[in-house]
Amino acid sequence: MQAAKPSQNRKSKIINLKSKMLLSIETSCDDSAVALLDMEGNVITSQISSQTALHERYGGIVPEIASRKHLTTLPLLLRHVLRESSVKLTDLKGIAVTYAPGLIGSLLVGVSYAKTLSWITKAPLIPVDHLEGHLLAPFLDHKELDFPFLGLIASGGHTHLVVAKGLGEYSLLGKTMDDAAGEAYDKVAKMLGFQYPGGPIIEQLAAGCPKPSIEFTVPLKGKKNLDFSFSGLKTAVRNEALARKLYVEKKKLISFKEFSNQPDSPEKDMIRDIAASFQLTVEKTITGRVEKALNKTNLKQFVLTGGVAANRGIRKSLTKLAQKKRKQFFYPQLEHCTDNAAMIGYTALQYLKSGRIDNDGLLRLNASSKSPIGLMNVQKPD
C-alpha cells in the first residue's frame, strides 16, 4: 500500500486541546482530503492526497481508479491528521462529509467512512453539499466577508452564478449550458497534447505569450441572461489547432515541464498563442457575466471560488472589475480553491452552530452524484 502524500504548506497550528474538534472528509472527485477544524472554524490541519499522477496520462479522471484509491488513502490520511495534531477520536464533536454532488463511487467511499466514524465516536454526522463547500470557502481566509454576496463557483464540474443571501439560502442566477469552465480548460489542454488537469497548464502556457493574437468570440456576449457556455469556444480552439496542424488527439499527453524542456520552435509559440488567446477569452467571458450579475443584483460583495478561482488571470480581471464598480471582491487562498476538506468542515460547522443538524437517521445517509438539496435545484428568481 502506497503511503498517502499529504500536500506541502499545510502546517498544523498550535491547538487548544480543551476545545473539541470537527473532522471533515472530502472525496467527491479525485482528491482524498481530511481536515480538522476547531469549533471557532480555525483550520488546525488540512491534508490533501492528490491522485493527479494516476489520472494525468488519460487526460481526465477515471472514476473506478479514483474510488479505489480513496479506499486505501483515507485511513492513512486520517491516521496522519490525528497523529500530527495529537487529537483522539474521542475529541471529535462532529464528522462532516461531502455526500453530493460528484463521482458516485468516490463519494460512497467518503460517506461510508464518515458513517463508520460517526457510529464509533457518537459524534454527529454532518452531510455537506460540495458546491456549498466551495461557495463558503472564501470565509476561511476572509473574516470580513459576510452575507449577502454574489458567488461564482467555477470548477471542473460546475459553473454556477448564485446569490448567497444566508446560510442555505441560495438562488441561482445562471449556470453553464454545456461544459463547465474547468472542464473547458481540461479539454483545451488535452487537445493541445497536455495532461490533466489542464487549467494550471493553460495558465502557464498563456504566461509565455504576453500578446495573444487570436480573437476567439466571447460566448453569449450581448445575451441578456446570466448563463455560461464554453463548448463553442472549445470548438473554436479545436478548429484553430486543426488549422495549424497542432491537434494531437492520439499523441502521448505531456506535462508543462516536458513541454518546457523541448527546444523552442514555431509550433511551441503557436501552442502558447492558442492557450493565451483562450485564457483571455475566458477572462472576458467570466468578467462580463459577473459585471452583468452585479448590475442586476447591486450586491456590494462578490466571490470567485472553485478550482478555476486559482487562475491568476481571472482573479486579476475580476479585481479590476471590483475597482471599477467599487465592490469588494474575495477569493480563497490557492489551497482552498481546488477541492479540500477545510471548506467542507467550515460549512458543516455553520450548520452545527445553527442547530440545524439532527443526527437521527443520518446513519442512513446516502451519497448522490447530483445535488438533491444543494445549489443544483434552487429556483431562479423571477
Binding residues (CB under 6 A) for ligand KG4: these are: 29, 155-157, 182-183, 185-186, 197-200, 203, 306-308, 310-311, 338-339
Closest CB to ligand KG4 among residues 84, 141 = 141
In the complex with Zn ion, which residue's Cβ is closer, 173 or 341? 341
Per-residue cell: 241: 489547432
Q: 38 to each of 42, 85, 92, 242, 294, how far by Cα in Å?
A: 5, 11, 10, 53, 34
State the Cα–Cα distance between residues 283 and 162, nearest whole angstrom: 19
List the x/- string, 306-345, binding to Zn ion by CB under 5 A.
Answer: ---------------------------------x------
**Identity of the residue, 7 or 85, whose beta carbon is nearer to ligand KG4 in the bound complex:** 7
Selection from Zn ion, ligand KG4, none that 343 binds (CB < 5 to 8 A by kind) is none
Residue 310 site contact among ligand KG4, Zn ion, none (CB < 5 to 8 Å, cut-off depends on kind): ligand KG4
Pick what 281 binds: Zn ion, ligand KG4, none; C-beta below 5 to 8 Å, kind-dependent: none
Single out the residue of 31, 202, 7 nearest to residue 103, CA to CA.
31
- Please name the residues in contact with 333: beta carbons below 8 A apart, sequence gap of 6 or more: 140, 141
Residue 335: which of Zn ion, ligand KG4, none does it interact with, CB under 5 to 8 A by kind? none
The closest alpha carbon to 375, from 29, 98, 131, belongs to 131
Q: How far is the CB of 46 from ligand KG4 (least distance, A)?
A: 14
Name the minimum Å distance from CB 189 to ligand KG4. 8
d(CA 263, CA 58): 25
In the complex, least distance from residue 276 CB atom to ligand KG4, rounded to whole angstroms? 13
DSSP 160: E
In the complex, the smallest distance separating the C-beta of residue 382 from ligand KG4, rounded to whole angstroms, is 30
Nearer to ligand KG4, 204 or 350 (CB): 204
Enclosing H/E stretch for 375: none
| Residue 105's binding partner out of ligand KG4, Zn ion, none, with CB under 5 to 8 Å set by partner kind | none
Find all residues with CB under 8 Å of 332, minimum gap 6, and list them: 137, 138, 140, 141, 305, 309, 343
Cis, peptide link before residue 127, omega less than 30° from 0: no
- Find, among 70, 158, 143, 150, the residue nearest to 111 by Cα: 70
Task: Give whichever of 297 and 347 is closer to Zn ion, judged by the CB atom.
Answer: 347
**Residue 368, contacted partner among Zn ion, ligand KG4, none, CB below 5-8 A by kind:** none
45 binds Zn ion (CB under 5 A): no
Least Å from the CB of residue 163 to ligand KG4: 20
Are the beta carbons of 172 and 160 closer than 8 angstroms?
A: yes
Q: Which is nearer to Zn ion, 28 or 287 (CB)?
A: 28
For 192, residues 6+ apart whose C-beta sits below 8 A from its C-beta are 205, 241, 246, 248, 271, 274, 275
What's the min distance (Å) between Cβ of 298 and ligand KG4?
28
One-letter amino acid of 355: G
Site residues (CB under 5 A) for Zn ion, limited to 135-164:
155
Residues making contact with Zn ion (CB under 5 A): 155, 339
